[in-house]
Amino acid sequence: MKRFLFFLLLLVDNVLVAQDVHLSQFYNQDHLLNPAKIGDYDGDYRFTANYRNQWRQLNKQPISTYLISFDHIFFYKKHQFNAGLMVTSDRFQGEETSYITGLPFSYMVNSNKLLVSLAYGFTYNRNIFRAGIQTGLVLSSSDPSTQTFPNQWEYQSGEFNNKISNLETQLKPSQNYIDLNVGGSWTKKMLSFTPKIGFSINHINRPKDSYVKNDKERLRARKVFFTEVIIPLSTKYTLQPKLLWMWTSKANDLVIGTNFQVQTNNKIIPAYYTGLHYRHGISRVFDAIIPTFGLYFKKYALGISYDINLSALSTGTNSRKGTFEFSLMYTGASTIPKKVLLPCNRY
C-alpha cells in the first residue's frame, strides 16, 4: 500500500505541475543548461545525445529521459553566431495491480519539447561574453482515467477503486504551450586557469502548465546558475571543478563536484576523466553522490554516471538505489586555423 501511495504522489507531482528535465551530467548538454552556451566548444558543429533512467528499482517502473541536440557555429569577422535545436522526451509509465479486482491497470505521463536556440558570442579584452535565447513548443499528455482520485477511496476496503467515477470534469488529457528561456555567460583565461560563469532564466514567459482546464496558475520561472574552472595541474592532468544551482519558488537543487581529466599519448583515446559530484536540496538535505567516468574517442566524447541516492527514500529494500545516466557527444572539426602562416618567397 505504501508503494502504491508513493506512485500516486509521484504521478500527481508530474501531472498537475510538470517537472523540468534535469541531468546529473549537466555540463554535457549545453542546450539544457543555458542557451548562451550554444557554440561554446572547439569545432564547427556538434551533436549531443543524453539518456537518463531514474528509479528503475522501484517496482521496475523508471522515469526515462531522452535528449538529442545539434548546434552549429557561424563566424562573421570577429563575431560568432550560433544556432541549435534540441528535442527532449520525459516519460513516466508503469503498471499496478488493483487491490479491488486483482486486474492490472496502467498509467502514463509523457512530456516532449522541441526548442530552438540562438546565441551570440564576442570577445572584448580577452573576456568572452555570450548571450542566448531559446524558445519552442512543449507537448504534454496523460490519461486521467488510469489514475485515482480522493473520491475513489473506499473506507470499507481501505483501498482506491478506479472503477468509481472520479467526478473530475475539468481535467484534460493533454496540453501544449510555448516556452521561452534566456541566458548569458562569461569566461576568460587567467594565467594557467580558465573560469566560466553563466546564468539563465527558464519559463520567463510564465506559460500555463496544467491539466486542469480552468486553472489560472502559471509555471514559475526557474533560475539556473553554473560555474566551472579548468585548472591544468600539468601537461597531462587537469582538474575541472563544477557547480550548478537551480531554484524556483521554495524549491532548489545544488550539484557540486569535480572531474579529473588525464591526457594520454593515444591518438584514438586522447583523454579520459573520472569525477565525483554531490547533489543537495533544502527539503532533502542529503540527496545523492554521483560518480562519473568519461573518455574521448577520436571526435566523440562519452560520459557515464550513476546517482547513489542518500535521501530517506533509500531505506529498507530500496537501500542506495539510484539513477543511471549516459551522454554521447560528437564535435566536428573546426575550420578556423589555430595558427596563421604567412608564406614568403625564397631568393
CA-to-CA distance for 240 and 257, rounded, in angstroms? 9
pLDDT tens string 72-114? 999 887 788 999 999 999 887 665 555 555 544 556 778 899 9
Please give the pLDDT value at position 99: 53
Q: What are phi and psi of 35, to 5 degrees?
A: -60, -20
Residue entry with cell 567516468: 293
Residue entry with cell 472503477: 163
Return the amino acid letter for 162: N
Mean of pLDDT values over 271-284: 86
pLDDT tens string 124-172? 889 999 999 999 999 988 776 666 677 777 777 777 777 777 666 667 7
Q: Are 25 and 286 in contact (CB under 8 A)?
A: no
Q: What is 2-331's CATH number, 3.40.50.2000, 3.40.50.150, 1.10.150.120, 2.40.160.40? A: 2.40.160.40
Given a cut of 80, whether residue 347 has pLDDT beyond it is no
Four-residue CA torsion sign, 284, 181, 91, 255: negative
Retrieve residue 325's grid coordinates. 545516466
Given a cut of 90, whether residue 61 has pLDDT beyond it is no
Given a cut of 70, whether residue 64 has pLDDT beyond it is yes
pTM for this one? 0.81
Please give the pLDDT value at position 2: 37
CA-to-CA distance for 111 and 116, rounded, in angstroms? 17
